[in-house]
A and B are shown apart, each in its own frame.
Chain A
Amino acid sequence: MKSNYSSWGLTGQKSQKVQKIKWRTDKLPELRAGLSLLAYGNGRSYGDSCLNKEGITLDTRSLDHLIDFDPKTHILRCEAGVLIAEILSNFVPRGWFVPVTPGTKFVTVGGAIANDVHGKNHHRRGSFGNHVLRLALRRSNGKTLVCSRTQHADLFYATIGGLGLTGLIVWADILLMPIDSGDMQVETCRFETLEQFFDLSRESEWKYEYTVAWLDCATKKQMGRGIFMRANHCTGPARLTGKGTDKGTSLPSGLPGFLINNITSKAFNALYYHLHPEGFVEKRQSYDTFFYPLDRIRNWNRLYGRKGFFQYQCVVPMEGGFRNIETILDEVARSGIASPLAVLKVFGEIASKGMMSFPRQGITLAMDFPNAGASVLNLFNRLDDIVADAGGAVYPAKDARMDKEHFRKFFPQVDTFKHYVDPAFSSSFWRRVMG
């Protein structure tokens, strides 16, 4: 294990000054001239939003204590460094689940709040911030403020999706969700075109807690095909399986980058598509298998080799969304760069609480790309234009490269938000898009 304070994309590995916050009673470190602070959760952001190259990184993983759980109110109070994995391994056997989970369980509660993360149930429950009732924010002036919808409400809304810039989240109250079983009832189905995807999505929204689709973004002529997934937590007699796969396999560092290229991506995607039979397939899966297939291999990001990789995730409004997704896919096809993994999901109408939250009603598309240098970056710039014209946004949690102009177009509210940024806090991302 390395003292690895990089981000998930492994494109911007940087040495950093790090300080552990060991206890929630610890003060923030003494401010030193010119050195800004930034909390680091578990580094599952892809780009530089969790990095603070020129400043001090606050390692929050020792803030891993639960504080209280009240089954009557469903409220879990816990420190910000607690991993979702940790909550699940503790609470699934007791009949509770997190209300919203991203595609990896190795994120901290602080990170989930700061990016206002979304899951496959956005159409039902909105994003993570919708389930945060209270949080304690430690500011560089030495004060710790308990913020909620009624107390320091502005700061509360600025901190949800606030990219870690409003201070150190020390603890939070989140609402857990009761479940009958640790298993999922899953249905999957192939689709040939985007229209079919939208139909499936629409018809499933009411009956299914979770919907998402894997999209083939590697095979030029077949763009728009994929596999649709929908699921509910199993009901009926409780079968609460406990521990998930917390360890998984590990990959060594320094793997060659050629493992993922256009050819392997196409082969993988075609295989994945064709292995799925026609029509709906029903199966019962553990929550781990359904939500976190990628967590099985602990550091799969190393498959991309030394140069790392990017993820491009955008959301475009529902209106004209179909056309816009098509335009984006066309642009990707034209670039000739294959995405080994792409995901499509319809965001519902529940508004995000955060001032700067990424999730909003519309269609979100996330595509991984190996770091092939200029060709990929140019493609992203063209995609930014399409997304901006559509009135959409690119997700900062996944971003390592968007420029200032586009950031402003995606998040025009930044001029209000910046008043809530703690003067001592900053990030590599923030300096890039605001500097």
Chain B
Amino acid sequence: MKKILIIGASSAIAQATARLYCAEDVHFYLIGRSRRRLKIVQEDLMARGAGKVEIDPTDPVRLADNQGVVSRAVQVLDGVDLALIAHGELSDQKACETSAEKTIRSLNINAISVISLATLIANHLEERGEGTLVVISSVAGDRGRASNYVYGAAKSCVSTFMEGLSHRLFRTGVSVITVKPGFVDTPMTEQFEKGLLWTQPEIVAEGIKKAIEKRKSTVYLPWYWRWIMQVIQLMPDPLFKRIFPVSEVGKDQSESHVEQRAE
């Protein structure tokens, strides 16, 4: 029986990934801050054929609870084969700019809590001498942009941490995978106009599963983001700033939930 731990299990990408494992004999341990949502995900995975699904409504961002929740998961699952850390929040960049407090909050949600949990899980896997840790970072961490650099900074922190962790656990039998999705149509990005570069969580999920099977260390999803980010990273600063003018900032991030969509 495959034993899978998911943190931020209500995330659309995490759910799509979990569903791919339901055809196998699997035991899930789901963590997230909302009991109601975890229950919905639990029922879904059960109906799709998962063997066992346990839920543990604990806020992953509350660092004080991290050790406890990971220990419980390890105990209930009797060792973790695969762990996925997926929680994250696309912070309101404009609000962060005028509030150090909100900036710190975003870093806590998107970086600190992730690193805390990744540390605990990695140590468990190292002790077991096998297993896979997958963390969802983002292409946004590859280069700072005026429109989302607080979120980007957090993701960049996570990516660098994971890079190092993967290096540390090289040859231990544990695989450490950083996933960098591009634009994905999920609740997190509801307020954006969806264009050509957007993809669905199911596509990202398939990429995650493949990366796990192939024991990749970093994977861009879909694949073309590797090349897009390569170009963006290589762009000289003056050019970069001209291509992404600051006036564009916030244009695609509207306050209102109901957005006018042009076809």
Contacts and interface: CB of A to CB of B under 8 A. Distances in A.
B185 interface: yes
A351 to B, nearest CB: 31
Which 6 A-B pairs give the minimum distances between C-beta atoms?
A66-B47, A3-B194, A65-B44, A13-B263, A15-B262, A22-B187
A111 to B, nearest CB: 18
B214 interface: no
Contact of A20 (B43, B190, B262): B190
B41 A65 contact: yes
B36 A90 contact: no
A279 B44 CA distance: 47
A3 B261 contact: yes
Interface stretch (A23-31, A289-297, A333-341): A23-31
B140 interface: no
A410 to B, nearest CB: 30
B244 interface: no
Contact of A68 (B22, B47, B49, B194): B47
Given A1-B199, A20-B187, A66-B44, 17 more contacts: A1-B185, A1-B194, A1-B198, A3-B193, A3-B261, A5-B261, A15-B263, A16-B261, A19-B257, A19-B258, A20-B190, A22-B187, A22-B190, A24-B40, A29-B257, A62-B187, A242-B23
A19 B258 CA distance: 6
A62 B189 CA distance: 13
Contacts of B47: 66-69, 76-78
Interface in B157-199: 185, 187, 190, 193-196, 198-199
Given A3-B193, A23-B37, A66-B44, A56 B23 contact: no
B230 interface: no
A89 to B, nearest CB: 10
Interface of B: 12, 22-23, 36-37, 40-41, 43-44, 46-49, 185, 187, 190, 193-196, 198-200, 257-263
Nearest to B257: A19
A93 B23 contact: yes
Contacts of B199: 1
Contacts of B190: 20, 22
A35 to B, nearest CB: 9
Contacts of B43: 65-68
Interface in A68-124: 68-69, 76-78, 90, 93-94
Chain A contact residues (Cβ within 8 angstroms of B): what range?
20 to 34
B258 A29 contact: yes
Interface in A1-39: 1-6, 13-20, 22-25, 29
Contacts of A13: 263
Contacts of A76: 47
A4 B263 contact: yes
A90 B48 CA distance: 7
10 contacts: A1-B196, A5-B261, A6-B263, A17-B259, A29-B258, A62-B12, A66-B47, A67-B43, A68-B43, A76-B47
A1 B200 contact: yes
Nearest to A90: B48
A58 to B, nearest CB: 11
